[in-house]
Amino acid sequence: PPAIRKISEEHDKVFVTGCMEPDTSKPRANAAFVVLARNKELDGVIQSVKSIERHFNRWYHYPYVFLNDEKFNETFKATIQNYTSGSVEFGLIDPSTWGFPDWIDPKVAKEGIAKQGDAAIMYGGMESYHAMCRFYSGFFYKHHLLDKYEWYWRLEPEIKYFCDITYDPFLKMIETNKTYGFTIAVKELKETVPNIFRYASAYKRVNNITSQGLWEMFVEPQPDEPKEEPDTSPNTHNLPEQILNGDPSRANLPPIDGEAMEGEKYNMCHFWSNFEIARLSWFRSKEYEDFFQMMDRSGGFWMERWGDAPIHSLAAGALLAPRDIHYFRDFGYRHTTIQHCPANAPSRQLARSPFLEATTVDEKKRKEEDEYWDSWDTPKENGVGCRCR
Ligand code: GDP
Ligand code: MN
């Protein structure tokens, strides 16, 4: 994981870590939790809210914005308010930002989705999942309930924080001029994003964007052997033509072929976006919007199953620098089968916090703990913590 280590070592030793008395004396940031959820996920949402309240928000009382493509029912709304210590708003998602855009032929898109289902691509056959990924890629930050906020912290049903967060991460990010924060980086399932990198590279090339050092994190290192001949086989991914009602001119896409790849290959690495703390103005910038438009017009949100995580990550790769990114190595965080435990983080081998250094650690106990977390049911190569390889 040389790239991620580089971030850690060179750019990112700026935040204090948790487990101290929370300092709540400073005014809050202009920020909210954002939770997209369905009514049927109430139990999972309660689990998540309980966890973030217990480990952070009982001191800080940040507000919540819940979003849904259907109306939240009264049970959902009333129950959630029993668990939250900040104000809560519930928003309905505008149908124009959920589901097929008007320039797509729904019949073709539905066929494309069915094919992905037949191919057993994870969530590939689920139209709503495609809609969700597109919403989180290009629309959540435009929801009117978020207009007043400058920062967000994404929560999902069934997540768990297992360390106290005793400082305000928004204020820290502002202080240190960060834009995007993550706690886990993993590899994407290849079959969900066969062409995502072609389009992301094309965005960079067409807009003459030079990497500020983060793009390389997403590029597969080339073997030292002599390079293979470039792939000159016919273009096989005619996404726009397939989906644009026979009017490819509307897509306004650059030529995309083997040569356009400039020899670079996506390494599938991405920041796992079910946890995110980020600056909304970045998503609202012209550069991000242009990126989203190009990705969207390719049809990849439907004809492939592009997740919002690789979309956010590749946008960051194109538009941000390592110094803009913060790795929250001190946040213990788990969602489904993947977790980040601070004990496993590279920070253990790098700079340890003064607080940790000053504490008498029961080495035997710590070893047992480490073994426990290490043995936790997680595919290692799929990235416990931030090891993306
Ligand atoms: P996974 O984490 O990738 O397995 O996907 P999830 O099922 O957890 O979905 C990611 C996020 O989108 C979660 O916050 C879900 O609650 C939300 N989500 C997914 N599909 C829908 C949907 O159809 N409607 C709504 N309102 N939320 C959805
Ligand atoms: Mn989830």
Which residue has its alpha carbon closest to ligand 1 atom 26?
68
Confidence category of residue 343, pLDDT binned at 50, 70, 90:
low
Give this complex's ipTM. Answer: 0.99
**CATH superfamily of domain region 2-19+29-222+236-382:** Spore Coat Polysaccharide Biosynthesis Protein SpsA; Chain A (3.90.550.10)
pLDDT, tens digit (0-9, with 9 covering 90-100), for 181-206: 998 888 899 999 999 999 999 999 99
- Percent of the chain beyond pLDDT 90? 58
Do the Cβ atoms of 292 and 182 come closer than 8 Å? no
pLDDT at position 229, please?
Answer: 56
Confidence category of residue 371, pLDDT binned at 50, 70, 90:
low
pLDDT, tens digit (0-9, with 9 covering 90-100), for 65-107: 999 999 999 999 999 999 999 999 999 999 999 999 999 999 9
Index of the ligand 1 atom closest to the CA of residue 158: 8
Residue with tokens 């199953």: 305
Position 297 pLDDT exceeds 50: yes
Position 296 pLDDT exceeds 80: yes
Which residue has its alpha carbon closest to ligand 1 atom 18?
37
pLDDT at position 240, please?
Answer: 39
Position 388 pLDDT exceeds 60: no
Distance 305 CA to ligand 2 centre (A): 15
Index of the ligand 1 atom closest to the CA of residue 37: 16
- Burial category of 189 from C-beta neighbours within 10 Å (exposed 0-12, middle 13-18, buried 19 and up): middle
pTM value is 0.81
pLDDT at position 367, please?
Answer: 61
Residue 204 to residue 211: CA distance in whole angstroms: 9
Distance 42 CA to ligand 1 centre (A): 12
Do the Cβ atoms of 29 and 174 come closer than 8 Å? yes
pLDDT at position 389, please?
Answer: 24
